[in-house]
Chains A and B, each alone.
Chain A
């Protein structure tokens, strides 16, 4: 394993506590955890792209950065009411 793959493994493992917050904490805290875990997923895709030298993975990271932001904004908007 090279340094990029090790870093990707650490970042993926760091998503586990965020998942625990999503499951155990209230819905407001879960939204914050989802937003952080989306950033972790984007970073992991960048690191895997560099580690495996696969260019399509970095395209996934760019798309995920945009889509996850829109998704989180949608969740935040829906939480104003009774979600």
Chain B
């Protein structure tokens, strides 16, 4: 039981670092910037897994609590960041972020 309890933080750590490596790979190999932006949100989940790993190893200590807080912050702020960045890039490309949406709706209807 103790061996399993000791292995869980290592598994969470490997998963967290692996998710972040996948995010880096996605940012590097994707062609379009909107494709790359998908991986910004994914990296936050890697930070959360690392935070949970530290929390499991340290229990609810000062480091464990703040590691969990940091991971939760990254997960919450990731989609906000992706949305704001995508909106800015659309505005940069078209002049207005809502430009073309009505035509797209009419085409789809």
Contact = CB atoms under 8 A, between A and B. Distances in A.
Contacts of A40: 20, 24, 43
B93 to A, nearest CB: 9
A32 B36 contact: yes
Nearest to A64: B70
A43 B24 CA distance: 13
Given A7-B50, A10-B17, A31 B67 contact: no
A36 B43 contact: yes
Tier of interface size on chain A? 35 or more
A58 B92 CA distance: 37
Tier of interface size on chain B? 35 or more
Interface of B: 10, 13, 16-17, 20-21, 23-25, 27-28, 33, 36-37, 39-40, 43-44, 46-47, 50-51, 54, 57-58, 62-63, 66-67, 69-71, 73-74, 77-78, 80-81, 84-85, 87-89, 91-92
22 contacts: A10-B17, A17-B25, A17-B28, A18-B24, A21-B28, A28-B92, A29-B33, A31-B33, A35-B43, A39-B74, A42-B47, A43-B16, A43-B20, A50-B67, A55-B62, A58-B70, A62-B69, A69-B73, A72-B85, A77-B84, A77-B88, A79-B89
